[in-house]
Chain A
Amino acid sequence: MTTLGDYLLVSGILFSIGFAGVMVRRNLIIILMSLELMLNAANLSLVAFSRFRVGPDGLPNYNAQVFVFFVITVAAAEVAVGLAILVALFRIRQTTSVRDISSLKF
């Protein structure tokens, strides 16, 4: 029987992989993918909480699941915008490495 802890463990591992990816990878596309991974880790834990929190009427708490739909929608929009920026950036700089994109520093 899988418990809430198992779901949260998977969610935590996913989040850590995503965070590590954002931190260490230089390629912007990989970083965006890692971001998605982190978002989905959060979604997973939300759904898990929803499923394991059953109200007195025997139904799970749907608030978290509704929230997950919002997150997925926003993530889709974010990816669209992020990829658009990335394409525009690549056209100017001919690169997707974050090392070469540091002109906003002081």
Chain B
Amino acid sequence: MNLMFPWLILLAPLVSATAITLFTLRWKTSSSAISIAAVLVSFICSCLIFAHRTVAAAEFTWIGISGVFHVPLGLTLDQLSRTMAVLVSGIGAVIHIYSLGYMRDDEGKSRYFAALSLFMFAILGIVVANNFVMLFIFWELVGFTSYVLIGHWFYRDAAADAANKAFITTRIGDFGFMIGILMVWMATGSLVFAEIAPRMSTIAGHPLLLTIVALLIFCGAVGKSAQFPLHVWLPDAMEGPTPVSALIHAATMVAAGVYMLVRVAFVIQGSPAALLVVAWIGTITAVMAALIATQQDDIKRILAYSTLSQLGYMIMAVGLASNDAAMFHLFTHAFFKALLFLGAGSVIVMLHHEQNIWNMGGLSRKLPITFASFLVGALALIGCPPFSGFFSKDAILALAYERNTAIFAVALFTAFLTAFYVIRMLLIVFFGNARSDIARESHESPPVMIVPLIVLALLATLGGFAFFARSFLTLPVEREIAIFVPALAIAALIAGSGLAIALYRNRASEPVDLELLRHKFYFDELYSSLIHWTQELLAHVSAFVDRWIIDAGAVGGSSRGAWGIGALLRLVQVGNLQAYVFLFGLGVVAIIYFAIFRF
């Protein structure tokens, strides 16, 4: 069945973004209503497509240079994209509704909802794109909307800087991605996923080329999924509104890198060397981000680093050649991380945009429902059974144990750290005594924010169980070997939580001070000095070129050269007719000599 209606998934948010921008910027209520209606249409269409497995979308030719270059506008509707579409539009819908509460009194509410709709258009485009060109365009569009939403409060310098940083950093990765796409096209002559896969044998004969292509495509994921060494933008992106952090910088956009890698797994998995790099980048990101998270004070930054860490797990799973494990963790992570961010958002709004955890405390009594749902999210994040994170993280750990012991050890250590920093955050935010006046006067959030929390909490609880997840995903196969892996994971969890409880119970200030972790391994300082010195060097080189080669050489040189030659030739102008004649005669003799005897 070829139908137009799958296109509705994409068109609804696009129409909404256009309509809001063109017509309803002044009417905030109608803007938000249009945006929410659009995302609901997308969600319902996604569900319908999910239910009817045989649906195929109509395909158009976009660019067709016969025999050379063919770019269709088409949708891939396999199990992977159907699941992702439901997941993305579902979480998007929940977060749109939550935004009603969070952005209630915001000046730029219409602008916010327009950008949110545009984001839904872009991310769903990535999910359903059936060729590299569409994927790349939506990929950039996602980067752009992320930029707009991070910089939503652009009058704050921090937000504007963070938006620039996010955009520029991800662009670095996207550049590699684009070159990778071009190389795939040159090697296989096609940009459509379904056509490239059978033609991979043309590159498979050149392992080096394949590795380079795979790593270049991975570059895109490194930027978008904020993997080491391009991870620096994600924590700063927390300057945006919290629902944006939940939707874009936790559940969907940053997961797009993982999704893209799974989508083009036929390229990546052809090269063992590339897989190894991917796996280690994921592992390094996971453990590094977890280490940094243990020393952060901003509730959203802690969550941002935990997102980095969990994305590291997913990339690790991709690198260990298991798409199922990566997608499973992506699936559960989307629920519990969106839940955690929305919970944090609820706390932040009720505390009048206070984000420092040391100014909170004792909130479990003031915001009981937020606390309960946040607890569910936290337990899922640290992989506590029976919450969803346990199952998916266990799948990745078992996979790592089977394929690469070193990665397994690091991953287990990361699980320990995760438990440590999450319990630390929980204790400081929700237990003990309220450490500021606003924390003492806070109360529960409005229903429009609470209901999404409850929905996500249910999903975060259910998400990992096989009976639920199996209807969405191909679950990774559990092997016999994996029996003691969960035991180790739970041991790490208990150790981490125990250590956190021992250290942070009833504390009013930070008992441990690790400069290195507090300063995020000095990555920002390193990069800014790197950029600074590169700029200095380039400036000096170009100043030298300008001053000595262009000014002194080309400009001054030609003027001085002309002047000097003139001065030399002036000596010949003696004013004596006989001398001229003599020179003239010499010239004639010379010309005759050369003309006759030399040639």
Name A's B-contacting residues (CB within 8 A): 19, 22-24, 26, 31, 98-99, 101-106
Contacts and interface: CB of A to CB of B under 8 A. Distances in A.
Interface in B556-585: 570, 573-578, 581-582, 585
Contacts of A23: 578, 581-582, 585
A105 B581 contact: no
A78 B574 CA distance: 25
Given A19-B585, A23-B585, A105 B578 contact: no
A24 B578 contact: yes
User: Closest 3 interchain pairs by CB?
Assistant: A105-B575, A102-B575, A98-B577
B471 to A, nearest CB: 99
Looking at B570, B577, B582, the one whose CB has the most chain A CB atoms below 10 A away is: B577
A106 B576 contact: no
A52 B570 CA distance: 47
Contacts of B570: 106
A22 B584 CA distance: 11
A102 B576 contact: yes
A72 to B, nearest CB: 22
B564 to A, nearest CB: 15
Contacts of A106: 570, 573, 575
Contacts of B576: 98-99, 102, 105
Interface of B: 570, 573-578, 581-582, 585
A101 B574 CA distance: 12
A31 B570 CA distance: 25
A22 B574 contact: no
Nearest to B569: A106
Contacts of A24: 578
A24 B575 CA distance: 15
Contacts of B575: 102-106
B567 to A, nearest CB: 10
Contacts of B577: 31, 98, 101
A27 to B, nearest CB: 11
A19 B578 CA distance: 10
B573 A98 contact: no
Contacts of B581: 19, 22-23
Contacts, number: 27
27 contacts: A19-B581, A19-B585, A22-B578, A22-B581, A23-B578, A23-B581, A23-B582, A23-B585, A24-B578, A26-B578, A31-B577, A98-B576, A98-B577, A98-B578, A99-B576, A101-B577, A102-B575, A102-B576, A103-B575, A104-B575, A105-B573, A105-B574, A105-B575, A105-B576, A106-B570, A106-B573, A106-B575
A26 B575 CA distance: 13
A102 B576 CA distance: 6
B10 to A, nearest CB: 81
Contacts of A22: 578, 581
Nearest to B574: A105
Nearest to B582: A23
A41 B156 CA distance: 96
A101 B577 CA distance: 9
Nearest to A22: B581
B451 to A, nearest CB: 97
A70 B578 CA distance: 28
Looking at B570, B573, B581, B585, the one whose CB has the most chain A CB atoms below 10 A away is: B581
A22 B574 CA distance: 17
A101 B570 CA distance: 18
A5 to B, nearest CB: 17
Looking at A26, A31, A98, the one whose CB has the most chain B CB atoms below 10 A away is: A98
Contacts of B578: 22-24, 26, 98
Given A98-B576, A104-B575, A106-B573, 12 more contacts: A22-B578, A22-B581, A23-B581, A23-B582, A24-B578, A26-B578, A98-B577, A102-B576, A105-B573, A105-B574, A106-B570, A106-B575
Nearest to A98: B577
A105 B576 CA distance: 8
Contacts of B573: 105-106
A79 to B, nearest CB: 17
A5 B282 CA distance: 99
A103 B581 CA distance: 17
B548 to A, nearest CB: 33
Nearest to B588: A19
Nearest to B570: A106
Nearest to B575: A105
Contacts of A19: 581, 585
Contacts of A99: 576
A101 B585 CA distance: 21
A31 B578 CA distance: 10
A19 B584 CA distance: 11
A103 B573 CA distance: 11
A1 to B, nearest CB: 28
Contacts of B585: 19, 23
Nearest to A25: B578
A24 B574 CA distance: 16
B569 to A, nearest CB: 9
Looking at A23, A24, A31, A102, the one whose CB has the most chain B CB atoms below 10 A away is: A23
Contacts of B582: 23
A19 B570 CA distance: 25
Nearest to B571: A106
Contacts of A105: 573-576
Contacts of A101: 577
Contacts of B574: 105
A31 B576 CA distance: 13
A22 B570 CA distance: 23
A77 to B, nearest CB: 21
A22 B585 CA distance: 11
A37 to B, nearest CB: 14
A89 B574 CA distance: 20
A65 B578 CA distance: 32
A102 B573 CA distance: 10
